[in-house]
Amino acid sequence: MAEVEPSGTDLKFKRILLKISGEALMGSSEYGIDMPTCLRFAQEISDACETTGAEICLVIGGGNIFRGLAGAANGMERSQADSMGMMATIMNALAMQSALETIGVQTRVQSGIRMDEICEPFIRRRAIRHMEKGRVVIFAAGTGNPYFTTDTGAALRAAEMHCDAMLKGTQVDGVYSADPKLDKDAVRYDHLTYQDVLARNLRVMDASAVSLMRDTNIPIVVFSLHRKGALLDILTGQGLSTVISEG
Ligand code: GTP
């Protein structure tokens, strides 16, 4: 990382968890990990950390490699399929660690399933120390349990890390009344309550993740990761997004 003194000023959220879908790592490919795309995300994270001094942890899905639900639909026992999905998230975490380290960002991967030869086990207090030291912590293997999603894993880690917000990077810059790619009249919401999302089944994240964010009063910020500088903008309270919170 370049020698830039973090200003810490104008910072809306001091510590955040960024959730990225596995599919986002595919870039324009149909499957797998596109390293130039990982490097682009890594640069966004690096710029945001350097400029603001924010503490960032990451959860990445696994759908670019294997989806537990799809495996189960295909006749595989659900727990087995979910274990495979969790291993996919570990591959993505290692790829992002590599991308971040390529540009000089100190990174630690902690996994919810022990895989001591390749990454640290999840130890909450240790993860907090890593973040306090300016390291980006990537949480892999979801919650470490089947029948949960990486959204729920992200919500759980955001709560455990006492994050000020969970940022969900998506294809579009917020939550819309309809799919903006299909409906030109779709409108973007600036703000929604947790209850709006749950009652209207808006599918921002699965219901258990939204409920946990409501119970712990952590806002969810939905924004587009595709625009350069978007993460920095969100951290400083700018840019387009939908904020989901209580009030
Ligand atoms: P400090 O205690 O703040 O110095 O943190 P640190 O992570 O730099 O120290 P540590 O000596 O614990 O770790 C050094 C390196 O080993 C880091 O890259 C860790 O991610 C890695 N590491 C630590 N524990 C494990 C583990 O159980 N498995 C694997 N694969 N790597 C580990």
pLDDT digits (tens, 9 = 90+) for 181-221: 899 999 999 999 999 999 998 889 999 999 999 999 999 99
Minimum-distance ligand 1 atom for the alpha carbon of 117: 30
User: What CA dihedral angle connects 22, 224, 110 and 39, to 10 degrees?
Assistant: 80
Asked if residue 123 has its Cβ within 6 Å of ligand 1, the reply is no
Rounded Cα–Cα distance for residues 83 and 142 (Å): 10
Instruction: Tell me which of 1 and 29 has the higher pLDDT.
Output: 29
Asked if residue 108 has its Cβ within 6 Å of ligand 1, the reply is yes
Rounded Cα–Cα distance for residues 53 and 50 (Å): 6
Of the candidate CATH numbers 3.40.50.300, 3.40.1160.10, 3.30.565.10, 3.50.50.60, the domain formed by 15-245 belongs to: 3.40.1160.10
Alpha helices by DSSP H, listed for the chain, are: 35-52, 68-73, 78-102, 124-132, 150-160, 194-199, 207-216, 230-235
CA–centroid distance, 109 to ligand 1, in Å, is 9
Asked whether the predicted pLDDT for residue 6 surpasses 70, the reply is no
Domain parsing of the chain, residue ranges? 15-245
Rounded Cα–Cα distance for residues 201 and 173 (Å): 19
Element (H, E) at 70: helix 68-73
Residue nearest to atom 25 of ligand 1 (CA): 120
Q: Which tokens is 213 given?
A: 């964010």
What percent of the chain stands above pLDDT 70?
Answer: 96
Q: What is the pLDDT of residue 4?
A: 44
Average pLDDT over residues 58-72: 93
Residue nearest to atom 4 of ligand 1 (CA): 130
Q: What is the pLDDT of residue 9?
A: 53
Average pLDDT over residues 93-99: 98
Residue nearest to atom 6 of ligand 1 (CA): 130
CA–centroid distance, 214 to ligand 1, in Å, is 33
Asked if residue 118 has its Cβ within 6 Å of ligand 1, the reply is yes
**Phi, psi of 86, rounded to the nearest 5 degrees:** -65, -35
Q: What is the pLDDT of residue 173?
A: 92
Asked if residue 160 has its Cβ within 6 Å of ligand 1, the reply is no
Rounded Cα–Cα distance for residues 144 and 203 (Å): 23
Q: What is the pLDDT of residue 37?
A: 97
Q: Which tokens is 19 given?
A: 């959730």
Q: Are 111 and 119 in contact (CB under 8 A)?
A: yes
The tens digit of pLDDT for each residue in 126-163 reads 999 999 999 999 999 999 999 999 999 999 999 999 99
Q: Which tokens is 186 given?
A: 């779709």
